Amino acid sequence: MYPPIYLKKEIIDLPIALGILAATGQIPSNKLAEYEYAGELALTGELRPIRGALAMTYLALNSGRAFILPQANAAEAALVEDATVYAAKSLLQVAAHLTGRVLMQPFISQPQVSPPYYPDMREVKGQAQVKRALEIAAAGGHSVLMVGPPGTGKSMLAARFPAILPQMTETEALQSAAVLSLDGSFDVAKWKTRPYRPPHHTASGVALVGGGSNPRPGEVSMALHGVLFLDEFPVRI
């Protein structure tokens, strides 16, 4: 006999509740297949935000269905082009929409996006050879190994490396944001800003590569299309 598998149910609170309502004849079951659902339910029936809404929308876009999500997650999910997102405040509102009593309108995304901001490489005085090496690495998408005693500017240069990378494409921005959303750390205002992840040299293996009892992506994954700065690299290996 296999041991039971325990899954956190927060993200599927809403579909579970809707399944019960449909099974008991309180909402029409034939409407359920038109949408993808996710959301955590409070005891009051209010929909609470979840992690991974953008990732779910991005991966399930080709299903041809619209998405019903908590209102707090609608802005990030609507960043996925061609996705139809409905922002719901409560289970009651979703039930009213499915029964046709009070229809919800698709969420119109109007994000307050700031231009990407990075520390400026021009603030670094000297270091011409290192700057040249970083420019070549940025142009070719290469990794960089910087060696030198403490205080020579390695961390300062690494923090400015994202500033000389090419601007993110729409696909890169969506892929990066989808991973960050799984951790709950995606900020709509930082759309198309390349991530810079400088984990401490004492970070655990799980923190770096992901996992844990409640699995989340690690620093390596969250640096997708950005910069992963492993300070004190020899200590890690």
Say whether 121-236 and 13-99 share the same fold: no
Instruction: Decide: residue 116, CB within 10 A, 0-12 exposed, 13-18 middle, 19+ buried.
Output: middle
pLDDT digits (tens, 9 = 90+) for 168-214: 999 999 999 999 999 888 988 889 999 999 999 888 989 999 988 78
Superfamily of domain 121-236: P-loop containing nucleotide triphosphate hydrolases (3.40.50.300)
CA distance 137 to 164: 10
Residue 95 — pLDDT band, cuts 50, 70, 90?
A: very high
pLDDT digits (tens, 9 = 90+) for 61-81: 888 899 999 999 999 999 998
Domain 13-99 has CATH 3.40.630.40: no
For the chain, which residues make up each domain, given as ranges? 13-99, 121-236
For the whole prediction, is pTM greater than 0.85? no
